[in-house]
């Protein structure tokens, strides 16, 4: 078992109250029973294709239901994997990975064209618009799993608790060991706190959500 396989295997032990896209099945919204396996394979491929080329790790707060919940990849939506974001934003499926066929895991009855996450669209759109090689950038979250509101179900997001973020620290450390000689970029304040707790040198950029997209794009442009 290589380091990426070991890392993905370590994600299996997730705290209660969090959706684990690689080992939990979303019974209400997943299209097939093998959805967790598809998400594991897509994450493995995404990481494997960047081990030799990564220069920047962009770390955000937590997985969202419109993004990694159904793709298995942080800040990456199904519409990106399915090619629906190419006409407007220039983001192609092969910008994410190339050696396997991208798949959606949500049922088309939920959203016909697949989930679309604003953060994912802004993040990938900025990389492509600025001419940045997407294989030099790896996206991840301080909390690898998806925090949701119990009263609203799995198609919701909530702010992770301090205890949940603490639970993600060991995985964040393991994640960083997969990539050598890279620049750490904290996307938002919560992630900056996690990296500071680990004593990791990093650059902070504004999170693109809630009106932060223009500043985020400027900061990413300056960074590169």
Interior angle at CA 111, CA 211 and CA 209, nearest 5: 10
d(CA 222, CA 81): 27
- Tell me whether residue 193 is exposed, middle or buried, using C-beta atoms within 10 angstroms of its C-beta: 0 to 12, 13 to 18, 19 or more: middle
Given a contact cutoff of 8 angstroms between Cβ atoms, the answer to whether 139 and 60 are in contact is yes
d(CA 109, CA 16): 28
> pLDDT per residue over 64-98, tens digit each?
999 999 999 999 999 999 999 999 999 999 999 99
Q: Which residues of the chain have pLDDT under 70?
A: 1
d(CA 184, CA 138): 10
Nearest to 116 by CA among 65, 58, 46: 65
Domain edges within the chain: 3-223
- Residue 1: the pLDDT is 63
Fold of 3-223: Uracil-DNA Glycosylase, subunit E (3.40.470)
């Amino acid at each position: 078992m290589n380091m990426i396989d070991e890392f993905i295997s370590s994600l299996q032990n997730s705290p209660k109250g969090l959706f684990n896209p690689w080992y939990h099945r979303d019974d209400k919204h997943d299209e097939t029973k093998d959805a967790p396996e598809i998400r594991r394979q897509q994450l493995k491929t995404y990481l494997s294709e960047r081990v030799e080329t990564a220069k920047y790790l962009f770390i955000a707060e937590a997985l969202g239901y419109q993004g990694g919940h159904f793709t298995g990849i942080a800040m990456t939506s199904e519409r990106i994997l399915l090619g629906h974001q190419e006409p407007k934003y220039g983001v192609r499926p092969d910008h994410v990975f190339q050696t396997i066929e991208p798949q959606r895991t949500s049922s088309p009855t939920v959203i016909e064209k697949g989930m679309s996450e604003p953060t994912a669209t802004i993040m990938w759109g900025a990389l492509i618009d600025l001419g940045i090689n997407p294989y030099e950038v790896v996206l991840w979250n301080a909390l690898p799993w998806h925090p949701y509101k119990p009263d609203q179900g799995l198609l919701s997001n909530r702010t992770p608790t301090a205890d949940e973020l603490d639970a993600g620290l060991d995985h964040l450390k393991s994640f960083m060991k997969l990539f050598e000689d890279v620049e750490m970029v904290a996307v938002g304040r919560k992630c900056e706190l996690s990296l500071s707790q680990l004593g990791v040198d990093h650059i902070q950029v504004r999170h693109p959500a809630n009106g932060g997209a223009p500043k985020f794009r400027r900061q990413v442009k300056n960074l590169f």
